[in-house]
Amino acid sequence: MKILLVSGAFPPMPLAEANHALHLADAMARNGADVHVLTTRGAVTDGFPFQVHAIMRNWSWMEAPRFARFVRRCSPDAILMIYIAFMYGDHPMAAFAPTIAKAVRPEIPFVTQFENVLGRRADQCSLGTRIIRRVVKHWAGSAGVDYEFGTLLRDSDRVIVLSGRIETRLAKFHPPMKQKSVLIPPPPIIRVSGERDGASREAGRALLSVKPDDFTLVYFGYIYPGKGLETLLRAFHVVKGRAGNARLVIAGGIAAHLYEERLAYVKDLERLAATLGIRDEITWTGHLDWNTDDASLYLHAADACVLPFDDGVSMNNSTFAAAAAHGRPIISTSGPILEQPFLHGENVFLCPPRDPEALAGAIETLMRHPELRGRLAAGALTMTEEWFSWDKAVARTMATLR
């Protein structure tokens, strides 16, 4: 089966979506598919069991003919587009991709995989872009066209969602999409280092310079507002006042090329840590390269992984999948909607979001009860096999494309 995977982001671009595109293309290729990735200039193109075509200068209307020509020339059996607006420079052309593709190859199935529910609002576009969009909307037919998501929901033959929360939100824009949606949560999108008799754990702890008796808490993921890091720092301050052997690792960087204000946000976090008197007890790893196993070693090193999301944990949180795949006991938060696979005390330890005292209590509970940590670790591995397995994700993705 020849598959065209369209992704505005691809390594070395420091985005989770870039890593998702890489690992998904690799997994499909290793399962026998002839995979071609269409992406933005500057992407890595060599060293993969699939072909990378980094030919898109950007994703503006001026590039629409290039996109159409490539679809015609590639002539795949199916097209899979990984979508979140900022991957495509927040330009609406990408939101009309299925309609453009079907104009040149109407027989090819087009599937859109929504990484999250973030579209492009009218007030974020230039006047020229809005004018052209009106023309394209007239050409595509106005019925079922959404301003944020163009024709993605209407003209995609199937829609892959990474969580039930995403499906619910998208259905508000286009209710019929629920009839063609498929749930496929993201498996780990990092290079996973296998554990052999504790060697990876020792290597990770050596990299982090933590002592053998340090209870090491690891936050893993990109750093930006909404991840609950302010809550984590305040909770860690409480824990340090009661348990001197606790250490905190913030494993991850920022995507400053997209959001320059995130540099100031990190500085704010560092100032908060200094104000709380915990700066010397925290290790900031900075950006984690896509082609190393450092992230995996840091997770192996952890006694517990803490993911205190402001909106609560969700099945589309790839960092949760990564921690679960490493068999780490995970502490996270329960938002207004908690999806069924998350079981408090079985595969995750949940507490309310934005509550430092509750988070500190959760951390201290895990520190005091090794049997609970063992149960959570075993539950995380069971959840991985059921929901975050690459074999199952690829099988479902390939079936959807067919």
SS3 call for 188: coil
Question: Distance between CA atoms of 224 and 230, rounded to whole angstroms?
Answer: 10
Q: Which of 30, 11, 19, 2 is nearest to 394 (CA)?
A: 30
Give residue 253's pLDDT: 87
> Where exactly are the structural domains of the chain?
2-183, 199-387
**Do the domains spanning 2-183 and 199-387 agree at the CATH topology level?**
yes
Q: Are 23 and 389 in contact (CB under 8 A)?
A: no
Element (H, E) at 297: helix 294-301
Q: For residue 262, what are the contacts with CB-CB under 8 A and spacing of at least 6?
A: 223, 224, 254, 255, 256
Q: For residue 375, what are the contacts with CB-CB under 8 A and spacing of at least 6?
A: 345, 346
Q: Which of 70, 74, 55, 144 is nearest to 100 (CA)?
A: 70
Q: Are 336 and 312 in contact (CB under 8 A)?
A: yes
Give residue 354's pLDDT: 97
Helix residue ranges, H only, 62-185 = 64-74, 97-104, 127-140, 152-155, 164-173
Question: Distance between CA atoms of 293 and 277, rounded to whole angstroms?
Answer: 31
How many residues are given for the chain?
402
Q: What does the angle CA 200 – CA 202 – CA 204 come to, to the nearest 5 degrees?
A: 65
Q: What does the angle CA 363 – CA 366 – CA 372 come to, to the nearest 5 degrees?
A: 150
Question: Distance between CA atoms of 60 and 196, rounded to whole angstroms?
Answer: 48
Q: Which of 322, 361, 328, 118 is nearest to 231 (CA)?
A: 361
Question: Distance between CA atoms of 146 and 155, rounded to whole angstroms?
Answer: 11
Give residue 122's pLDDT: 46
- Tokens, residue 334: 């329960």
pTM of the model: 0.90
In sequence order, what are the beta bridge partners of 111?
A: 80, 158
Report whether CATH 3.30.230.10 matches the domain 2-183: no
Question: Distance between CA atoms of 380 and 393, rounded to whole angstroms?
Answer: 17
Strands in 78-83's sheet, in edge-to-edge order, are: 51-56, 34-40, 2-7, 78-83, 110-114, 158-161, 181-183
Question: Distance between CA atoms of 247 and 211, rounded to whole angstroms?
Answer: 9
SS3 call for 378: helix
Give residue 360's pLDDT: 98
Q: Which CATH number fits domain 199-387: 3.40.50.10440, 3.40.50.1820, 3.60.40.10, 3.40.50.2000?
A: 3.40.50.2000
What CA–CA distances, in Å, run from 348 to 174, 183, 308?
Answer: 33, 21, 12
Residue with tokens 């079985």: 346
Sign of the four-CA dihedral 234, 252, 305, 20: positive
Q: What is the pLDDT along the chain (402 residues), one digit of tens a residue?
A: 999 999 999 999 989 999 999 999 999 999 999 999 999 999 999 999 999 999 999 999 999 999 999 999 999 999 999 999 989 988 889 999 999 999 999 999 999 999 987 644 445 556 555 555 555 554 555 565 776 898 999 999 999 999 999 999 999 888 998 899 999 999 999 999 888 778 999 999 999 999 999 999 999 999 989 999 999 999 999 999 888 899 999 999 886 555 566 678 889 999 999 999 999 999 999 989 899 999 999 999 999 999 999 999 999 999 999 999 999 999 999 999 899 999 999 999 999 999 999 999 999 999 999 999 999 999 999 999 999 999 999 999 999 999
Residue with tokens 């296998």: 194
Does residue 352 have a cis bond before it (omega within 30 degrees)?
no
What CA–CA distances, in Å, run from 198 to 120, 195, 202, 283, 381?
Answer: 46, 6, 6, 22, 17
In sequence order, what are the beta bridge partners of 315?
A: none
Q: Are 332 and 311 in contact (CB under 8 A)?
A: no
